[in-house]
Amino acid sequence: MKKLFYIIIKYTFKLASHFYFRDIKIYGLENIPKKGGVLFSPNHQGAFLDPLLVGCNIHKRVTSLTRSDVFGGPFQWFLDALSMLPVYRIRNGYASLKKNEAIFEKCKRILSNNHWVMMFSEASHHSEYYLQSLSKGSSRLAYEAQEASDKPVYIVPVGINYGHHSQPFCDLHLVFGNPIALDRFKAGDTEKPIVINKIRAELSDAMKKCMWLPDNDDQYTQKKKFIHLGNTQLAFDVLKKGIHEQNLSVVKPSAIKRWKKVTISLLSLPNQPPLFTLRKILQLFDDIVFYSSIKICAGLVLFSLWWGFILLLSTIFWGWKIALINAVACVALLYIRQILSNKIY
């Protein structure tokens, strides 16, 4: 049952993501090793959207490590079905940190059996495009898994690059970098912490190669504007190269015309109930990193219910032909609205 649920969620979300994003470009799937255990290490700019995006675009089931405070209660079954395991942080209390050892042991067994694990090396999510300092957790886990196994273990760096962190219909570049083979790192006479730090440094460099903006430099703000102005339709390598040129200051946004805002308001009318509900849900969250995650997941439920209601009500009063036209019109108008809205941000 849980396996079936995982498959349904995976492909439903994959379909929904292609409606939410204007274009999804995926690079480097061929870099994922075909044999051995693999630990995926993505950057973390999109809350719970990040593991879903990686998980639905790789062919094999992956076990994800996520914050422990979402576990327990009525959602435990669903988290288990989605192959999620809790990871404990200092904010959960020092006593809770001891529980990580049991989780890490389970992950080591998963990797040793040629399966896949996903862990966010930045430890917590954020809304910046550049890479934060990495924790030692993922490097230690992969290293110890290799120590305990005679089969190869790899870390695959992943770059999740959003055209915008909170607005729909932006572009997404999902980049899988060259794998890091852990059997290259032998402790020998070198102390284990030094070896793990070496792995972490190599992983940091590898992850930066998968990101549009790897570092926070003096031009970071201007480069961020360059991304928000729609240049993300370029190929990853072209964009990454172009964004570091010195002519970014000449890029200016076009003026926002009043008629466009009025048009967006009119296009919103047929879908106002789910849009209104979604806005109210978003007001419950201060952290904008959650916005895209909530929009795509809650939107999938709210709009499906609304369009189903429109279809049913129209069928009762006017017949199935008119009902189908009404439902398709609602979908099309929302799509056009999203295109115009994206031009504003």
Residue 242 lies in a domain: no
Residues 218, 297 within the same domain: no
Q: Across all residues in the chain, what is the average pLDDT?
A: 87
168 and 226 in one domain? yes
- pLDDT digit string (tens) for 122-152? 978 888 899 999 999 999 999 999 998 889 9
Average pLDDT for 287-313: 90
Q: 326 and 265, same structural domain?
A: yes
Same domain, 102 and 29: yes
Residue at 246 is within a domain: no
pLDDT of residue 25: 95
Q: What is the pLDDT of residue 37?
A: 96
- Pairwise CA distance, residues 60 & 54, whole Å: 11
Which residue type occupies 131?
L
CB crowding 100-138: b at 16 or more within 10 Å, else e: beebbeebbebbbebbbbbbbbbbebbeebbbbebbebb
Q: Name 116's Cβ contacts closer than 8 Å, sequence gap at least 6.
A: 37, 38, 39, 40, 58, 60, 61, 62, 63, 110
**Mean pLDDT confidence for 64-71:** 77
The confidence band for 250, taking pLDDT boundaries of 50, 70 and 90, is very low
What pLDDT shows up at residue 339? 77
The percent of residues in the chain predicted with pLDDT above 90, rounded, is 52
Determine, yes or no, domain membership for 250: no
- Per the domain annotation, does 240 fall within a domain? no
In this structure, the answer to whether residues 156 and 289 fall within a common structural domain is no
| Structure tokens that stand for 259 in this block | 């008629």
Q: If you compute the radius of gyration of the chain from its CA atoms, what whole number of angstroms results? A: 22
pTM, to two decimals: 0.87
For residues 37-44, average pLDDT? 96
Residues 227, 300 within the same domain: no
Residue 108: inside a domain: yes
Number of domains in the chain: 2
Range of the domain at 269: 258-344
191 and 296 assigned to the same domain? no
Is the residue at 46 inside a domain? yes
My answer on whether 28 and 165 are in the same domain is: yes
Predicted confidence (pLDDT) per residue in 206-232, tens digit:
999 999 999 988 888 888 888 887 788
| pLDDT value at 60 more than 50 | yes
Do 69 and 11 reside in the same domain of the chain?
A: yes
Looking at the fold, whether 49 and 126 belong to one and the same domain comes out as yes
Does the residue 206 lie in any domain?
Answer: yes
Same domain, 227 and 287: no
**CATH number of residue 86's parent domain:** 3.40.1130.10
**30: DSSP letter:** G
78 lies in the same domain as 171: yes
Using 50, 70 and 90 to split pLDDT, how confident is the model at 342?
Answer: low
Q: Is residue 247 part of a domain?
A: no
